Chain A
Amino acid sequence: MLSKELVAASTVPLVLSVLTDGENYGYALIQRVRELSSGHIEWTEGMLYPVLHWMEEQGLIESEWQQADTGRKRKYYRLRKAGKTALVAEKEQWLIVHATLTKLWQTQPHSI
C-alpha cells in the first residue's frame, strides 16, 4: 500500500490519465485505478470528489450529469484541452522522478 502523501500527490495525474480513455464517473475512476495498481492505490473513496471538483474549477476537466441504463443519474467527467496540456507536464515530471530513482537504485543495488 502506498503512503497517503504519495497517493494524494498522484491523484491529479492518475485522474487525467484515466480520462484520456474517455469520459467516466467517480466510482468507475476509482475501480479503474484500483485495478491498474493491483489494489496498491486505495483512495478513501469520497475524497476523490473534492479533487475532481477542484480540477473542474481549474479548467482541467468538465462534467455532465447523465442517465445510466439503470435509470439512475451519474456525473461523468471528461478531459478539457487544459487537462491534456497539464497531463503532458505531469507525465514529464513523474518520468523525471522515475528515471532518477531507477538510475540511483541501479547504481546502488545493495545499499537499500
Chain B
Amino acid sequence: MANPTSFDLNQAIREWREDLNTSPAFRAGDLDELESHLRDSVGALQNQPLAPHEAFWVARGRLGTGEALQSEFGKVNAEQLWLNRALWMVIGWLAVGAVSTWASALTNLGSLGIYALTPQAGFLAPLGAGLNLVVFIGLLALAWRVFGPAKGRVRQAGAWLKAHPKAAAFILFLLLAINGLAPLGSSLLMLKFMPMPAYAELMQWRWPIMVLPFFVWPPVLAWLLVRTQRKPAAQ
C-alpha cells in the first residue's frame, strides 16, 4: 500500500485506470464513468473524514475488483470483446502456425541429416514424423514457458498493438511471411539433397502432424461462445 504521507490521489486513480484499460471489456466511456464515480466516492469519504489514501482504497473496494468489473462490462460490450478475441484468435492461429512451421522446418533439416547418415534406413519416414511431433510440442512448451507467466505483459502488448495498428499489421505480415517461407526453404533444401520417393514417403507420414495444430482452434472458439452473451446483474 502507498505511504500515506506521499499519497498522490490523481496518480493512484491514473494507475487504477491504466490497469483496467488493459482489458478489452471496457470502452473509453466506461472508464470515464467509473473514474467519475470513484472521484465522487472518494470525495464523499474524505468528508467523513477519511485520509485521501484511505478514502481511495475504500472507494476502490466498493467499486468492485478489476476481474468482477471486467466480467460484468464484458457482457454488455460483447461485440467489442469478440472483435478483440477474433484478433487474438488470428494472432494465436498465426503463432501456432509459426511454431508448427518452425517445427516442420527444423524436422526437415533433422530428417535431411538422418538421411545423409543412413540413406538406406527404412525408418526415416516414421522417425521424421515422430521428430516433427516432438519438436512441435517442445517449441509449444518453450513458448508457454516464456509467455505463460507473463499474461499481464501479453495484455499490455495487446493494448500496444491496438494503439499502433500499423505496427500490428507489419507483425501480422511478418508472421505470415515466416509461416510461408520457412517450410518452403527447408523443403526445397530437402528436395535438392533427397530423392523424391524418400521425400514423398516422409511427407506422407508427417502431414497429419503438420495440419493438427490448425484444428486446435474450433474447440477454443466453441468454448468462448459458451462463456459469453449473458445479461449483466448488479450484486
Contact = CB atoms under 8 A, between A and B. Distances in A.
- Chain A interface secondary structure, helix, strand, loop or mixed? helix
B163 interface: no
Interface stretch (A3-11, A82-90, A99-107): A3-11
A8 B231 CA distance: 11
A112 to B, nearest CB: 26
Given A44-B64, A46-B69, A54-B76, A27 B233 contact: no
Given A45-B64, A51-B234, A74 B36 contact: yes
Query: How big is chain A's contact interface, by range?
Result: 20 to 34
Interface string B74-97: 011000000000000000000000
Interface residues of B, number: 24
A53 interface: yes
B39 interface: yes
B193 to A, nearest CB: 61
Interface in A23-68: 25-27, 43-51, 53-54, 57
A49 B68 contact: no
Contacts of A46: 34, 37, 63-64, 68-69, 72
Given A8-B233, A51-B232, A73-B32, A57 B37 contact: no
